[in-house]
Amino acid sequence: VSLAVRGGRSRVDSVIERVEALRRFLAAAQDHVPEPELAPARTVVDRAGQRLALSRDHTVVALAGTTGSGKSSLFNALSRRRLSKVGVRRPTTGIAHACVWGLESASTLLDWLGVPPNRRFLRDDPGAADDDPALRGLVLLDLPDLDSVERSHRLEVDRLLALVDLVVWVLDPQKYADRVVHEQYLAQFRGHRDITVVVLNQADLLTPVDAERCLADLRRLVDDDGLDGVPVLATSTVGAPGLARLQDLLERAVAARQAALRRLAGDVDAVVDDLAALVDRAPPADAVDRGAQRALADALAQAAGVPAVVAATRRAYVHRAGAAMGWPVLRWLRRLRPDPLRRLHLPSAGTRDNLPVPVSSLPGATPAQRASVGLAVRTVGERAGGGLPGPWPAATVSAARRRLDDLPDALDVAIARTDLGLGRTPFWWRIVGAVQWLCTLAAFAGLVWLAVRYALFALGLPELPGPRVGRLPLATLLLLGGLLAGLLLGALVRPLIGIGAGRARRRAQARLRASIGEVAGELVVEPVRTVLLAYGEARAALRSAR
């Protein structure tokens, strides 16, 4: 008889790496998957960490079973001492007992198992007549029953069964087919076939023929529980079949020192199988849909007031060009009208990165615009998570939305920081402005000259001789020519200003779109991408935990 060992040594050796992989899976998934779905895996990882940190030379074997099946008798018989109380009053054992074979007392292990100190016994008498050197390293636990009216016993059993390395299920001819044992316990251990032993105790009560039939029936039930291959033995503490085969089996298990790792391997198998559905589809190749991103940028641009800023930029260009190149005599009139960009409280050339940005006076988004931003953000999340299983689509949508409240301010800052390209006065504005001034000065000079001449004439003084160009006096020419040239120049640059304004508008449009795109990337797409990365990591981690 031997344990139903599956897989080779490598499967056991890799347990530590697999637990580590499971830990990586948890780290990747924990922010995106509801905690209840991860709780079993977390328990396994924690427990594995604790168990591996404790003595691996000890093998914790639990005797579990129904009340009255003779767990305590078996415990006493294996330890060859009367350690656990045996009785007819049911339920007999209420608190787990432990017996340790070997020199070390394994007290930290027993502390971890939660066996009270007064229930711990030590078999450390080497050389004694009843010494079992082959059992060195065995920690045998006598568990309370799992089916009596004392519900607390069941809780204690459930707690300890989650911790021990090997379980010997002790059944008896009267109770071997009880529902509670098979449905609620044995069937739950189908992932732990290689650390499960079933014994039919009190076999001495049956005739050998009946015992054979009973054992065969139990074998069938155990197979139905999904535990095929698990050793099923008949034992008796007082009569015929005896304990030799069980003892032999325990000796080999203790000698192999593999039970703890096998148990953890089984635990990891179980949770990995449960978790597989969470990451069973390949992540999408194109992480975040381009079309959805473009729609998002459009919606954000509308909501942030980009069209208004672009229009204001164009008008501001015209306004400022007028101020720089208009007819100097009437230029001041421009001052009476507000600068369109300044009305929006936007700087012309963007704010430098290290300076704080004042809030702009752009009108807030309308409900319709807000709604379209909401839709676009949701679409980005849904498209990204569309092909993913389980809770992940919800995670991508909520990741896309996570910073929705920060969006308006981030957009405002982005717009305020964008260089709209009106910061520098173009060179040709200066030249034209200077020419305008020259013209005006010429006209003014002509005017003054004419005024002087008029004054001389009025006072009856002799006329000053002045240069003439052709038949016209130079003063008149200066005045009229200056005025005419100014007006002409103003008319000539008008189409140029229009062209420049158009260019400024397009430039502002492109730059604002780029800034908005950055904001969308940072606040919406990046969180979604983080979720997708976490998915990929979780998937890879779970595969290596397999």
Partner 1 sequence: VELVRALTELREAIAATRYALPLPTADLAGDAASAIVAQLDDYLLPRLRRLDAPLLVVVGGSTGAGKSTLVNSLVRAPVSVTGVLRPTTRTPVLVCHPHDAPWFTESHLLPHLTRTTGVTVEGASLQVVSAPALRPGLAFLDAPDIDSVVDANRALAIQLLAAADLWLFVTTAARYADAVPWDLLQVARARGTTVALVLDRVPEGAAEQVAPHLAEMLAAYDLGGVPMFVLPETRLDGLGLLSEQLVAPLADWFGALASSAGARAGVVRQTVDGALRSLVPSIEGLAAAVDDQVAAVRALRSSAHAAYQSAQSTVEQGVRDGGLLRGEVLARWQELVGTGDAMRALQARVGRARDRIVAAITGRTVAGSQFQAAVEHGLITLVRSAAADAAEQAATAWRLHPAGAALLATERGRVDLAAPSPDLPQRVERLVRDWQRTVLDLVRTEAGNKRLIARASAYAVNATGLLVMISVFTATSFIPTGLEVAVAGGTTVAAQKVLEAIFGDQAVRELAERARSDLLHQVRTLLDTEEARFTAILDRAGVEAGTADRLRAAVDAVEQARRAAPLPDSPAVPLPPAPAGAGPTAPPASASAPPPSAPRPSAAPPSAAPAPAAARAPGQGGDGVAR
CA nearest neighbour of 293 among 530, 510, 526, 535: 526
Residue 409 is given by DSSP the state: H
| Binding test (CB under 8 A) with partner 1, winner from 142, 194, 204, 269 | 204
Question: 301 with 516: CB under 8 angstroms?
Answer: yes
| Binding test (CB under 8 A) with partner 1, winner from 65, 137, 144, 173 | 173
Instruction: Say whether residue 131 binds partner 1 (CB under 8 A).
Output: no
* Binding residues among 450-509 for partner 1 as defined by CB under 8 A: none
Instruction: Say whether residue 207 binds partner 1 (CB under 8 A).
Output: yes
| Interatomic CA distance for residues 264 and 50, integer angstroms | 11
| Binding test (CB under 8 A) with partner 1, winner from 155, 277, 329, 375 | 375
| Peptide linkage before 34 cis (omega within 30 of 0) | no
Instruction: Say whether residue 387 binds partner 1 (CB under 8 A).
Output: no
Name residue, tokens 């009216």: 149
CB-CB neighbours of 386 under 10 Å: 12
| Interatomic CA distance for residues 454 and 122, integer angstroms | 133
Comparing CB distances to partner 1, the nearer of 305 and 340 is 305
Instruction: Say whether residue 208 binds partner 1 (CB under 8 A).
Output: yes
CB 119 to partner 1: min, Å:
21
Segment contacting partner 1 by CB under 8 A, of 24-32, 85-93, 95-103, 537-545:
85-93
Segment contacting partner 1 by CB under 8 A, of 39-47, 145-153, 412-420, 520-528:
145-153
Residue 524 is given by DSSP the state: I
CA nearest neighbour of 16 among 61, 53, 58: 53
CB 358 to partner 1: min, Å:
19
| Interatomic CA distance for residues 503 and 321, integer angstroms | 13
The tokens of 108 are what?
């930290």
CB 223 to partner 1: min, Å:
12
In the chain, the amino acid numbered 430 is R
Instruction: Say whether residue 147 binds partner 1 (CB under 8 A).
Output: yes
Instruction: Say whether residue 66 binds partner 1 (CB under 8 A).
Output: yes
CA nearest neighbour of 165 among 32, 288, 266: 266
* Binding residues among 270-309 for partner 1 as defined by CB under 8 A: 305, 307-308
Instruction: Say whether residue 175 binds partner 1 (CB under 8 A).
Output: yes
Residue 203 CB contacts under 8 Å (≥ 6 apart), including other chains: 173, 211, 214, 215, 234, 235, 236, 239, 240, 241
CB 507 to partner 1: min, Å:
22
Q: State the residues that interact with partner 1 by CB under 8 A.
A: 66-69, 87-91, 147-151, 172-180, 182-183, 204-208, 210, 213-214, 217, 221, 224, 238-240, 305, 307-308, 363, 366-369, 371-372, 374-375, 378
